[in-house]
Amino acid sequence: MAKRVAIIGAGMGGLAAAIRLRLMGFEVEVFEKNGQAGGRVGRLQENGFTFDTGPTLLLMTDVYRSLFAAAGRDLDEEIDLVNLDPNYRVHFGDGDSIQVSSSLPALIPELERIEPGVTPRFYRFMQDACLKYRLGRSEFVERDFEKARDFFGPRNLRLLLKTRAVNNYYRSVSKFFKTEKLRQTFSFQTMYLGLSPFEAPAVYALLPYTELAEDGLWFPRGGMYELVEAMVRLARDFGVNINLNSPVEEIVVAEGRARGVRVNGEEVGADAVLANADLPYVYRKLLPRSAGEGDFRWKLRKREKLLYTASSFMLYLGLDRQLDHMSHHNVYLSARYRENFEQIFSERRLPDDPSFYTNVPSRTDKNAAPPGMEALYVLVPTPHLGENVDWERESGPFKERVYDLLEKKANIPNIRRHVVYEKVKTPVDWLADYNLEEGAAFGIGHGIFQVGYFRPPLASKTVRGVYFVGASTRPGTGVPLVTIGAKLAAERIGRDLGRSPVTRKVAGTNNAGVS
């Protein structure tokens, strides 16, 4: 009989792992607490408006193409991918802006306008970022370091020195650009991962590189959730059973080994359990109290000693006017760029002059809003939950500050008069909706002792048969990395349970589906 794997959570990691495990011949059942699959890659549809609720930038499409190709499918036949170029417009604190494009003939004049003579240094930056991307991805991101010597071997240490991957990101960028504006243009991308460029490792130079040179920036027509729906269809076609509105109450452990999960008071047996729920939540709420003692002696049990990513304040707005002056993606940087990050990450309070990001999907996909209207997604990086911000008291006033920013910096006059639909999301909601510890929207952070081998591993060291996938485990946060992590986790389960990590196509069935 085929061995069974129970997966907790139908986020991107859970779905990707479910597909790969099923292709390896396992029986796979997924249990999702919410009413829709996708986790943080969610969808909101109200009053004719459609919003992605979480990630909105699609990078590194080869990761998803590989997943679908393993099942004999073509990603381009499953979703309609639109290449976005220009990528986005970055607005600086003084009112100036730069349009960032993957087309060098369009980008270079923009760079030269801001910093004359920068072109040779920009090419050196891209060369350095390419090295970090190539070596970082193949030697660190796409590897499962089961033992310390796998990570700290002489070859890896030489590569770390060669790429300077663990250097400070902002200082690394500053070596190539003299003006603060271009330093900001090529460092703000860490906000995609809830990190400060002043604290993040230099390896994240791979982010602007992937946008500009490797694969570009993409938009699935219909929104990022189209990718989720395509993955759900693929999983169903191959017999994965996905149970929605089915929160797992505990991981059943006997004699130091996972035996299944308990859902709605009933035990569902399994040979392995893969947790796509946030890793700290799994240890604190789903495993026996003693289970985490040997796994992460370095801090996991002490919430206050973990480093977390930022959270975010979200506005999903339906406007009864169009925003012809805005791009699909728009970034508005604080005039006090460094101070903005210090207030979020060091002082852990709401920034006085916030940077923020807007997404206007209806600029590309007219079906995202009713005719003559616009869907506007607003993300403001904020601290994760803590004693310095009382969201019950601060949510209303902070929302009004964001509206003021949209009027002043995004040039949407009298915006409040044009709002016909509004939904607010705070760090409290990130905690409630997805069990993200401290409401940290991107999981645990990527400090020097929370990356690589030091990041929580894919397999529990104390409870056999328990595995992890998601932003808070290896290789790290961000949708592409989580999807890569799903492949690593599936291969690890295959090795441990005696199945080849080489995928193979199995007979499809349409009997199992979403319930």
Whether the pLDDT of residue 284 is over 60: the answer is: yes
The share of the chain scoring above pLDDT 70, in percent, equals: 93
**Residue 362: inside a domain:** yes
Q: Residue 203 is part of which domain span?
A: 82-219
SS (H, E, C) 124-178: HHHHHHHHHHHHHHHHHHCCCCCCHHHHHCHHHHHHHHHHCCCCEHHHHHHCCCC
pLDDT of 50 reads: 98
pLDDT of 298 reads: 37
> pLDDT digit string (tens) for 181-234?
999 999 999 998 899 999 988 887 888 999 999 889 999 999 999 999 999 999
> pLDDT digit string (tens) for 23-66?
999 999 999 999 999 999 999 999 999 999 999 999 999 999 99
Q: Are residues 260 and 318 in the same domain?
A: no
5's enclosing H/E stretch is: strand 4-8
Q: Are residues 213 and 88 in the same domain?
A: yes
Q: Which residue numbers are catalytic?
A: 211
pLDDT of 515 reads: 40
**Residue 265: inside a domain:** yes
Q: Are residues 386 and 484 in the same domain?
A: no
Whether the pLDDT of residue 269 is over 70: the answer is: yes
**Residue 407: inside a domain:** yes
SS (H, E, C) 186-255: CCHHHHHHCCCCCCCEHHHHHHHHHHHHHCCEEEECCCCHHHHHHHHHHHHHECCEEECCCCEEEEEEEC
Q: Residue 417 has which token pair?
A: 């008069």
Nearest to 422 by CA among 438, 447, 402: 402
Residues in CB range of 134: below 8 A, 6 or more apart: none
| Contact by Cβ (8 Å): 154, 221 | no
Q: Are residues 415 and 461 in the same domain?
A: no
| Contact by Cβ (8 Å): 489, 17 | yes
Q: Are residues 331 and 299 in the same domain?
A: no
> pLDDT digit string (tens) for 427-468?
999 999 999 999 999 999 887 667 777 788 999 988 999 999
pLDDT of 506 reads: 45
> pLDDT digit string (tens) for 477-502?
999 999 999 999 999 999 999 876 54
Kindly report the CATH number assigned to the domain that includes residue 370: 3.30.519
pLDDT of 201 reads: 83
Q: Are residues 201 and 117 in the same domain?
A: yes
Residue 472 pLDDT level (bands cut at 50, 70, 90): very high
303's enclosing H/E stretch is: none
Whether the pLDDT of residue 300 is over 80: the answer is: no
Q: Residue 350 has which token pair?
A: 């709401």
Q: Which of 219, 250, 277 is the last residue of a domain?
A: 219
Q: Which of 397, 414, 434 is the last residue of a domain?
A: 434
Nearest to 338 by CA among 121, 183, 165, 115: 183
Mean per-residue pLDDT over the chain, rounded: 91
Residue 295 pLDDT level (bands cut at 50, 70, 90): low
Number of domains the chain is built from? 3
Nearest to 21 by CA among 483, 508, 499: 499
Q: Which one is predicted more confidently, 509 or 411?
A: 411
Sheet holding 27-31, edge to edge: 241-243, 27-31, 4-8, 272-275, 466-468
Q: Are residues 329 and 298 in the same domain?
A: no
| 68: phi then psi, degrees, rounded to nearest 5 | -70, -35
